[in-house]
Amino acid sequence: MKRIAYPFSPVRRELVRAGFALAGGLALPRWALAADHPPIGTWPAGVEGNSVTIGAAVPRTGTYAEQGEDELKGWQLAVEHLNGGHPLMKKISTKTKKGVLGKEVKLAVADSAAKPNDAVQAQQRFITENKVILMTGSTSSAVAVAMNKLAQREKVLYVTGISGSNDTTGKDCVRYGFRQNFYGQTAAAALGPVLVKAYGKNKKAAYMTPDYTYGHTVTKSMQDYLATAGWTTVTNQVSPLGAPDYSSYLLNIANSGADVLINVNWGHDAVLSIQQAERFGIFGKMKLAVPYQIPFLAPEVGGDLLGGVYAATDFWWTLENKYPLAKQFVEAFEKRWNYKPEWGANNAYMSFAFWADAVENAGTFYPPDVIKSFEAGRKLQSTVGEVYFRKEDHQLVRPVVIVQGKKQSEMKNKEDFWNVIEIMPGAPLMQKPDAFGCNLGDYT
Amino acid sequence: MLNWSNFVSQLINGLALGALLALISSGLTIIYGTLGVLNLAHGAMFMLGGYAGYAAWEATHSFTVAVISGALALMVFGLVMERVVIRYFYGRPHEDQLLVTFGLAMVIVEAVRFFYGSETRLVPAPDVLNGVVSLGFMIYPKYRLVLVGIVAAALLALFIVLYRTRLGMIVRAGIEDPVMVDSLGIDVYRVFMVVFGIGAMAAGFAGIVNAPVVSLTPEVGEAILVQTFVVVVIGGVGSFPGAVLGGLIAGEIISITSMVNPGYAYVMLFAAMTLVLMVRPHGLLGTPGRE
């Protein structure tokens, strides 16, 4: 019997069917693949065009304006690197080609003046008008905490700008929020041993604390750590954000008999309080320590006031000598903006790079999938070595850098303000994920 | 830090803080008392005086030149501002005056930011005034002590102008009854312009003499404006002696409270204002009806 050659054998038929299905699938827009998801937040409306927008509410005025501008430059550079497929970006977000999932990234910017209300209003507008797919910005943890709540309510992802409060990934953590930078607990655990080694046990400390979540949690973490070495708090001078004068607080400190002044103030508040402390003769009596280093602190304070001062920080440009990605980052940033990046700019750049990595790995902008991609705990390459996000509280596990201020005579160039003396691995510095009451909440 | 030496230190510090607040507030209150315009740009003018002085200091490295330049620049600025903008708002509702001065404040602040950025600028005090004075139980920055004297001299000069000169007499008469002054053949508008110039000069002078204490940023006037309003309300709106008294009270409240609990320093300041408003709504030295 003549064997009939079927043009489509059962096996071939399966193959062809699968082939068509695959081709059809590829032809569909990506979001349609996830069409079984109901819309959530700004998804899919925000990703339907050729571009996606990120909303940044950053202080361009007020006490933290100087630091806000630095952050903004970091975000702008990251967006340029994403859209251009820069080699540095590709080393961090390894699946990046150009843009994010092939879409151009745009950045919408508003001034928050470091005020939670202003930031939330601006982002609410970005959500409604620009359908932003990611929000960022904070140079104050009060803003970060407010933004966390907005992100969770609106179901739009949020990566913090600078935020040092334990609460941001502690009691005020949310499923939709992620933090790249170090914070009170890790700052204290990293800086504490250095202070004890330098100044000894059983010392008396005076604190200057800005009166909001960042100040209170950083001071508390420092006090808790130093208490283990017998240090006591002789006074804690709490002042409002943007206080016009520190004289009365400084008099209390001058009269306190402290050995070390731990200044938690930030932005212009730190600059002013340190300058005024010097005029009150305080540094003749006690040493200064800065648990949460402030971008541009050294040049703004001026003189030799920070010579020998220990501080904890996220990034300092001389890390380029140790980490190849840091070198690439510092070079690219300096070429673009004509100065060495401060840690705010680095934090901003890395936040966007990690977000891009999470989205590329998720293969979709669908927020719950992006969150799960962040939570997968992938090892990420960064400007401070290998890091990863902790899935329980969305905090990046990353080293804390201990620096010591240089005297002017020791500076090798005009931006050589700090000497990196230690790089402390992140994991041992961190509290247990539930120690600060983090409850992330729902995906949808 | 509740102890005797800290208490005396804080008393002295309160005096220094208060003197400065008195100087800034006096400019605000003179303008309001005479022109009836609540100048929300006063804080910005305080800041502008600091930057004008800073520019002069950069050019000459002389603190004296900086102080004179800061004060004079703001006097000129005040005269121009009155002639070009404020004059057209005398006959308009208070809310228009508030809006226009608020708008001017924003323009001034952002203009300064445009030229100088947000970073901190420092005008150092002259070398002889730098360093600390040891009073035995405390050490205190020399410049702050000298500042009390400088401000006292400036306030005295203002007092003489307002109470011992013909111009002062006209100004005070203008506060009481501008129509009558006008009908006596005195050009009230010219007087108003001069008063605005003097008020602006007081703000500018305060701005530059304060620059070595607080360091300059474009926002330096914002925080001080709020305190200035508290001072004016406590002392009595439109009253020059009230501004001085209110300033000293505010300075002492901030200093003494911070000794007990620094977190409450500004709370107590507002509590004091509320108390004054409840007991004497026209302020301690104000005249009922003027506000």
| Residue in chain B nearest A281 by alpha carbon | B132
- pLDDT tens readout for residues B76-113: 999 999 999 999 998 899 899 999 999 999 999 999 99
In a domain, A34, yes or no: no
Residue type, A373: S
Q: How far apart are CA A78 and CA A74, in angstroms?
A: 6
Q: How far apart are CA A144 and CA A138, in angstroms?
A: 5
For residue A247, give the nearest of B17, B113, B266 by CB distance.
B17
pLDDT of residue B247: 95
The count of C-alpha atoms lying within 13 angstroms of the C-alpha of A256, restricted to the half-sphere facing its C-beta, is: 27
Pair B189, B87: CB distance under 8 Å: yes
Is B224 in the A-facing interface, judged by CB distances under 8 Å? yes
For residue A205, what are the β-bridge partners?
A233, A260
**Residue that terminates a domain, selected from A313, A346, A376:** A313
Most confident of A191-205, B224-238, B271-285: A191-205
Write out the two tokens for A325. 């990605």
* Cβ-based contacts of A63 with chain B (< 8 Å): 219
Nearest to A35 by CA among A27, A26, A44, A46: A44
Pair A82, A97: CB distance under 8 Å: no
Pair A227, A256: CB distance under 8 Å: no
pLDDT of residue A1: 45
Pairing of strands A400-405, A418-424: antiparallel
The tens-digit pLDDT sequence of chain A (444 residues) is: 445 444 445 555 555 555 555 555 455 444 444 457 999 999 999 999 999 999 999 999 988 999 999 999 999 999 999 999 999 999 999 999 999 999 999 999 999 999 999 999 999 999 999 999 999 998 899 999 999 999 999 999 999 999 999 999 999 999 999 999 999 999 999 999 999 999 999 999 999 999 999 999 999 999 999 999 999 999 999 998 888 889 889 989 998 999 999 999 999 999 999 999 998 999 999 999 999 999 999 999 988 999 999 999 999 999 999 999 999 999 999 999 999 999 999 999 999 999 999 999 999 999 999 999 999 999 999 999 999 999 999 999 999 999 999 999 999 999 999 999 999 999 999 999 999 999 999 999
* Cβ-based contacts of B120 with chain A (< 8 Å): 66, 268, 271-272, 300
Place of tokens 């409306």: A45
- In angstroms, what is the C-alpha Rg of chain A? 24
Q: Roughly what angle, to the nearest 10 degrees, separates helices B42-60 and B220-235?
A: 130
In a domain, A51, yes or no: yes
* Cβ-based contacts of B228 with chain A (< 8 Å): none
Is B258 in the A-facing interface, judged by CB distances under 8 Å? yes
- CATH code assigned at A111: 3.40.50.2300
In a domain, A102, yes or no: yes
φ, ψ for residue B120 (rounded to 5)? -70, 135
φ, ψ for residue A7 (rounded to 5)? -60, -30
In a domain, A11, yes or no: no
Q: How far apart are CA B150 and CA B22, in angstroms?
A: 12
Q: Is the torsion defined by CA of B71, B76, B80, B82 positive or negative?
A: positive
**Residue that terminates a domain, selected from A271, A294, A313:** A313
Q: How far apart are CA B77 and CA B204, in angstroms?
A: 10
* Cβ-based contacts of A296 with chain B (< 8 Å): 119
pLDDT of residue A17: 57
Q: What is the count of structural domains for chain A? A: 2
| Subunit contact A245:B9, Cβ cutoff 8 A | no
All residues at 6 or more sequence positions from B103 whose CB lies less than 8 Å from its CB, including other chains: none
| Residue in chain B nearest A252 by alpha carbon | B1
Pairing of strands B132-134, A287-290: unpaired
**Number of Cβ pairs < 8 A linking chain A and chain B:** 105
CA distances from residue B144 to A408, B20, B147, B148, B152 in whole angstroms, order as listed: 27, 10, 5, 7, 12
Nearest to B48 by CA among B104, B100, B109, B99: B109
In a domain, A230, yes or no: yes
Residues A222 and A265 grouped into a single domain: yes
Residue A212 DSSP class = S
The angle at the Cα of B79, spanning B74 to B84, to the nearest 5 degrees, equals: 120
Write out the two tokens for B53. 């002085």
| Subunit contact B9:A239, Cβ cutoff 8 A | no
Nearest to A313 by CA among A270, A278, A354: A270
pLDDT at B241 over 60: yes
For residue B141, give the nearest of A66, A235, A280 by CB distance.
A280
Residues A216 and A251 grouped into a single domain: yes
Pair B84, B214: CB distance under 8 Å: no
For residue A272, give the nearest of B132, B214, B255 by CB distance.
B214
Residues A168 and A210 grouped into a single domain: no
CA distance B98 to chain A (A): 22
| Subunit contact B219:A65, Cβ cutoff 8 A | yes
In a domain, A19, yes or no: no
CA distances from residue A224 to A181, A185, A220, A261, A369 in whole angstroms, order as listed: 21, 9, 6, 16, 38
All residues at 6 or more sequence positions from A15 whose CB lies less than 8 Å from its CB, including other chains: none
User: Does residue A44 have a cis bond before it (omega within 30 degrees)?
Assistant: yes
pLDDT of residue A35: 56
Query: Domain range spanning residue A101?
Result: 45-182+320-398
Q: Is the torsion defined by CA of A78, A83, A87, A93 positive or negative?
A: positive
Nearest to B150 by CA among B196, B194, B212, B217: B212
Residues A344 and A308 grouped into a single domain: no
Q: How far apart are CA B75 and CA B131, in angstroms?
A: 31
**Measured in whole angstroms, how far is the alpha carbon of residue A82 from the centre of its chain?**
18
* Residue of A60, A245, A265 to mutate when probing chain B, most B C-beta within 10 A: A245
Integer distance in angstroms from the first to the last C-alpha of chain A?
A: 63
Residue type, B12: I
| Subunit contact B262:A63, Cβ cutoff 8 A | no
Residue A170 DSSP class = T
Q: How far apart are CA A272 and CA A398, in angstroms?
A: 30
CA distances from residue A144 to A73, A133, A177, B232 in whole angstroms, order as listed: 19, 17, 9, 36
Instruction: Tell me which of A164 and B192 has the higher pLDDT.
Output: A164
Residue A434's CB: how many other CB atoms inside 10 A?
11
Q: How far apart are CA B75 and CA A422, in angstroms?
A: 54
Write out the two tokens for A335. 């070429």
The DSSP result for A142-164, as a single string, is HHHHHHHHHHHHHT-EEE-SS--
**Measured in whole angstroms, how far is the alpha carbon of residue B245 from the centre of its chain?**
13
Pair A63, A267: CB distance under 8 Å: yes
The angle at the Cα of A390, spanning A385 to A395, to the nearest 5 degrees, equals: 80
Place of tokens 């790079």: A353
- pTM for this model (two decimals): 0.87
Residues A308 and A215 grouped into a single domain: yes
* Cβ-based contacts of B136 with chain A (< 8 Å): none
pLDDT of residue B291: 46
Mean pLDDT over each residue of chain B, to the nearest integer: 90
**Residue that terminates a domain, selected from A293, A313, A333:** A313
Nearest to A240 by CA among B222, B244, B182: B222
Phi-psi region of A303 (alpha: psi -120 to 50; beta: other; left: phi over 0): left
Burial class for A229, CB neighbours closer than 10 Å (0-12, 13-18, 19+) = middle
**Helix or strand run (H / E) with residue A204:** strand A204-210
| Subunit contact B13:A296, Cβ cutoff 8 A | no
All residues at 6 or more sequence positions from A11 whose CB lies less than 8 Å from its CB, including other chains: none
In a domain, A220, yes or no: yes
**Alpha-helical segments (H) within chain B:** 4-35, 42-60, 63-84, 94-116, 142-163, 166-176, 178-183, 188-214, 220-235, 240-260, 265-279
Interface of chain A toward chain B, CB-CB under 8 angstroms: 60-63, 65-66, 69, 211, 235, 237-240, 242-245, 247-249, 251-252, 254-256, 268, 271-272, 275-276, 279-281, 296, 300, 302
* Residue of B217, B252, B269 to mutate when probing chain A, most A C-beta within 10 A: B217
**Helix or strand run (H / E) with residue A313:** strand A310-313
The count of C-alpha atoms lying within 13 angstroms of the C-alpha of A11, restricted to the half-sphere facing its C-beta, is: 0
Residues A178 and A190 grouped into a single domain: no
pLDDT of residue A12: 54
Residues A178 and A325 grouped into a single domain: yes
All residues at 6 or more sequence positions from B93 whose CB lies less than 8 Å from its CB, including other chains: none
For residue A248, give the nearest of B10, B119, B122 by CB distance.
B10
Q: How far apart are CA A172 and CA B7, in angstroms?
A: 40
Pair B24, B244: CB distance under 8 Å: no
Q: Is the torsion defined by CA of A65, A69, A74, A79 positive or negative?
A: positive
| Subunit contact B259:A248, Cβ cutoff 8 A | yes
The DSSP result for A46-96, as a single string, is GGSSSEEEEEEEE-SSSTTHHHHHHHHHHHHHHHHHHHHT-HHHHHHSTT-
Pair A272, B214: CB distance under 8 Å: yes
Residues A331 and A250 grouped into a single domain: no
